[in-house]
Amino acid sequence: MPKEDSLVWKDKTGTYKLGYSQKLMKEQVQWQKINFAGKVALIAVILILIIIILFVLYRLDSINFFSGVLYR
């Protein structure tokens, strides 16, 4: 089994070997950051879609589209 260099952490005071649980913790924190950014982007897209839908409904109401179709 080849040795992984990612388990070594270098600091100005020396070189330290990271344990497997510390490596997993680093990966978990990285995935949590990615998930948080994804959730923020998804919320932003949903809010933009809601604003677009509300604006379209407002414009349709102002031109009386539905009443013109219903009362022909």
Q: What integer is the mean pLDDT of 6-30?
A: 82
HSE-CB at 47 with a 13 A cutoff on CA atoms is 6
Q: Is the pLDDT of residue 68 over 50?
A: yes
Q: Please provide residue 3's backbone torsions phi and psi, each rounded to the nearest 5 degrees.
A: -80, 140
Residue 1's pLDDT is 42
pLDDT, tens digit, for every residue of 21-38? 888 898 999 999 999 999
Rounded to the nearest integer, the mean pLDDT of the chain is 82
HSE-CB at 22 with a 13 A cutoff on CA atoms is 8
User: Is residue 18 within 8 Å of 9, Cβ to Cβ?
Assistant: yes
pLDDT, tens digit, for every residue of 40-50? 999 999 999 99
**Is 15 in a helix, a strand, or coil?**
strand
